[in-house]
Chains A and B, each alone.
Chain A
Amino acid sequence: MSTHLKPWLLIPATAAALAGGLIWLSHLRYELSLETQRVTTEKKNIEQESNQLRLEIASLTRPERLRQYARDSLNMAPPSPIQVIHQ
């Protein structure tokens, strides 16, 4: 058996292993690229959503709306300057 194992066989074996490795690597690279694209899209969507939510916060907390809410729903009135305490 051992007579078949000639030292020169090492060369094609190594070449085959390297070729296999190369194929595996390029496949990995391709898979990763797909993953990156997916994550990038997700990131973009999240950014967009956060943008929209920020705007919604700005819109919901605009002073005029809060004033109206405080006055109409909570029966509040603006304090006169003497009712404001500073620390």
Chain B
Amino acid sequence: MISKEHTFIRRRIEAVAGVLALGILMLGVRAVDLQWLQADHLTNLAEKQRYRQFTTVAPRGPILDQKGRILAKSIETPSLAAIAGEVPSDRISELAKALGISHKKLQHKLNKRKGFVWLARQVPPTVARKVMALNVPGVRQETEWQRYHPLGPETGHLLGFVGIDGRGLEGIERTWNTQLSGESGLRQVRRDARGHSLPDGHWVREPAAGQAITLTLDASIQSIAYAALAEGVRNQNAKGGSVVVMRPQDGAILAMTSWPGYNPNSFRHYRPSDWRNRAITDVFEPGSTLKPFTVAAALESGRWQPDTQVYCEKGAMRIADYIIHDDHAEEWLDVTGVLVRSSNIGSAKMALDIGARPLHNMMEKAGFGKRSGTGLSGESPGIVLPPERWGPVETANIAFGQGIAVTPLQLATAFSVLANDGVHVTPSLFADQLGQHAPTRVMSSTIARQVTQMLEYATSEDGTGSQAVPAGYHVAGKTGTAQKPNPRGGYSKGKYNAVFAGFAPVNDPQLVIIVLIDEPQKSIYGGQVAAPIFRQIAESALPYLGIPARFDHLGDEQDLNNQTWRTMPIAAEKSILDSESLFGMSMREVRHFSAQRGLRLHVHGSGWVIRQKPTATSGLKHGETLEVWLNE
């Protein structure tokens, strides 16, 4: 009995031991399975859970002007996206209302696919907050970089714009996309059970922020040029226009602007043809503005002197089967007269005398017929025929700017040669590229000065460019009017380009300004259309650059230090807006002051205010009386 019981207990113990052994064996097998056979896979899974990778987007570099003012900058902007399948259909109308789009449109967006769809990209933060506050399942907020150009249309053509994916599509944004765009970084961190990052994160790839680009542009001058151009184009009812402002000494481009403008912040609302930077992509026949270079080539040949006389055929001259006309019929003119009176015949005779090759050399050295070297995309090299194809008719035509095509930037570069005592400097848009190219001599400094002097006469009272001269400055410049070529190879009737090219001040040129107006309607002459725009830009930009106006009529008796300027009382006036006392104000100012605040004014006497009642004006309310006594 006992042994039977013993046997039973023993069996039971053995059974339990067996089960335990089996359990341990299975554990062993499982351990081997997990630790050995599945190790790689499981380690992988664990790491995926534990490690997380973040992509950090590097911002696009800003574009700055020469004084560090922001011309283009990227900011983080919210964008709204959704997992389409997760958005409940009964909340779509609510969501559409917050997004500011129609129900139908949102429905269409969500029906495109089940997964990720953009609802609205780069929206104002207020909209994003409103949408996220609805807490619709499946809707989420992402962050994107948006490019913003604070100067808008003023710098639109030059800077271009950036697409929604952050790639530069036009202008500087496109040409220097590689430097501007940064490289996104990848960071790996370990997370704890609560999802917080642990301290030992490391960069898989370090982000590299986009480089900043500093331009030679000056935002103030750019704005001055754009405003003057816009006004000029509107006054003339013209089709368009361009302005280039350059510093001749180092070729720094201070302003480059075109009309019609477009706003790069909303570039989609404009036609692609409006995006074009006309100052470098569009060529035009420079007309008479090319004559200074013909004259320079003639003087350089040694066969002509500034006072050499030339017979201008009373306004018409036949070359082969072609007749050249002058606007004003002239007989004998000296070389200076040819330039001042802008005689086509005189220039043609000079060119025919020296021959095609020296003239071609001059054009080539002055920078026509090749890209100017700024590196901007879409730049046209212009059209200059090879000298072998210059017959007498071509040579004569090119002498007064027909049969040759240039860009406004090329013309600016060429006029810089004259302003620079005959030295050609490569134009540059980038502050760090200034002075990288060695300057080359195009003509002797004597000749450059002689031509400059002639150009100064051309803007005198009798010259064609008299309207280009701001009071107190001397300008050397040349007007030009050229018929526009038509696509069939001839010239369009009634379609002209009006040009003014010049620099100021003459004795120490600081600005070369080119103004081109495309198809002006009221007048076709450069002297009436483009010259006033030149004056407007020069008279704002020169004082801004600290170049004082000078008065010749004070000239001779006084010494050089005293002759320069006259103090105007307006500059010494106290601001009427922040002073409480009216003391010293003129009658007009007091009237203005009281009209602004709606006060009833009693005035005694005339002249300047010496006493007022009440003494404190800030407490006066609308309709109350202000009494003032003036000194006389």
Question: What sequence of 0s and 1s flags, for each residue 178-201 of chain B, a beta carbon within 8 Å of any chain A beta carbon?
Answer: 000000000000001000111100
How many residues of A are in contact with the other chain, CB < 8 A? 29
Identify the stretch in B24-32, B356-364, B546-554 within 8 Å (CB) of chain A at 4 or more residues: B546-554
Is A54's CB within 8 Å of the partner chain B?
A: yes
Q: Closest A residue to B73 by CB, please name it.
A: A55
Residues of A within 8 Å of B542, CB to CB, are: 81
Q: Closest A residue to B220 by CB, please name it.
A: A63
Instruction: List A residues 7-40 near B (Cβ within 8 Å).
Output: 29-30, 32-34, 36-37
Is A86's CB within 8 Å of the partner chain B?
A: yes
Q: Closest A residue to B59 by CB, please name it.
A: A51
Is B34's CB within 8 Å of the partner chain A?
A: no
Identify the stretch in B37-45, B163-171, B430-438, B467-475 within 8 Å (CB) of chain A at 4 or more residues: B467-475
Residues of A within 8 Å of B418, CB to CB, are: none
Is A3's CB within 8 Å of the partner chain B?
A: no
Q: Closest B residue to A83 by CB, please name it.
A: B568
A78 touches B198 (CB 8 A): no
Identify the stretch in B79-87, B148-156, B244-252, B510-518 within 8 Å (CB) of chain A at 4 or more residues: B148-156
Residues of A within 8 Å of B50, CB to CB, are: none
If A52-B75, A78-B540, A79-B543 touch, does A63 touch B549 (CB 8 Å cutoff)?
A: no
A51 touches B543 (CB 8 A): no
Cα distance A85–B566 when bound, in Å? Answer: 8
A84 touches B73 (CB 8 A): no
Q: Report the contact-size class of chain B (Cβ under 8 Å from the partner).
A: 35 or more
Least Cβ distance of B6 to chain A in Å? 46
Residues of A within 8 Å of B76, CB to CB, are: 48, 51
A81 touches B472 (CB 8 A): yes
Is B219's CB within 8 Å of the partner chain A?
A: yes
B151 touches A64 (CB 8 A): yes
A58 touches B154 (CB 8 A): no
Least Cβ distance of A51 to chain B in Å? 5
A84 touches B227 (CB 8 A): no
Cα distance A45–B83 when bound, in Å? Answer: 27
Residues of B within 8 Å of A85, CB to CB, are: 565, 567-568, 571
Residues of A within 8 Å of B226, CB to CB, are: 64
B566 touches A48 (CB 8 A): no
Q: Closest A residue to B143 by CB, please name it.
A: A48
Instruction: List B residues 33-82 near A (Cβ within 8 Å).
Output: 69-70, 73, 75-76
B197 touches A37 (CB 8 A): yes
Residues of A within 8 Å of B472, CB to CB, are: 81-82
Residues of A within 8 Å of B539, CB to CB, are: 80-81
A54 touches B199 (CB 8 A): no
Having A81-B471, A83-B568, A85-B568, one finds 10 other A-B pairs with CB under 8 Å, namely A32-B199, A33-B196, A55-B70, A62-B223, A63-B224, A64-B226, A75-B592, A80-B470, A82-B471, A82-B566
Residues of A within 8 A of B (CB): 29-30, 32-34, 36-37, 48, 51-52, 54-55, 58-59, 62-64, 67, 74-75, 78-86
15 A-B pairs whose Cβ atoms sit less than 8 Å apart in the complex: A36-B199, A48-B75, A54-B70, A55-B70, A67-B227, A74-B577, A78-B540, A80-B470, A80-B539, A82-B565, A82-B568, A83-B568, A83-B571, A85-B567, A86-B546
Counting from the closest, the 10 A-B pairs by CB-CB distance are: A63-B223, A33-B199, A81-B549, A84-B543, A58-B70, A58-B150, A59-B150, A83-B568, A81-B472, A86-B548
